[in-house]
Amino acid sequence: QVQLVESGGGLVQPGGSLRLSCAASGSIFGIDTMGWYRQAPGKGRELVASITSSSSTNYADSVKGRFTVSRDNAKNTVHLQMNSLKPEDTAVYYCNARMSTNYRPAYSTYWGQGTQVTVSS
């Protein structure tokens, strides 16, 4: 069917940068809003950034000015450019998308498997 696969996570030093990517694949009919969530150890999952089909964006206050979310509709892909990373950004980052499929026309929420981002010296 359909799936979301994240890539680009890793270990970086404070002040460094990472670019996360998430590609949707399968029998996709349409994709609405896409976004990124993160979950640190012992913490709840929080919204980091989202982007609508018309490219309107939304960011958590903690990442404004440092992170940028973008999408490539032709490739069914969403990206998260993370600059000036801080230790508190350490978390598992999850891709999220509202999608419909060729077999299920109603839009539903899908999640990626998550990718680890560790910011440490």
pLDDT in tens, 12-68: 999 999 999 999 999 999 999 999 999 999 999 999 999 999 999 999 999 999 999
Structural tokens at position 60: 């958590």
Cα 91 to Cα 9: distance, rounded to the nearest angstrom: 10
pLDDT in tens, 99-117: 999 998 899 999 999 999 9
- Are 9 and 80 within 8 A, CB to CB? no
In terms of Cβ atoms closer than 10 Å to its own Cβ (0-12, 13-18, 19+), residue 113 is exposed
- Are 5 and 69 within 8 A, CB to CB? no
Structural tokens at position 97: 């998308």
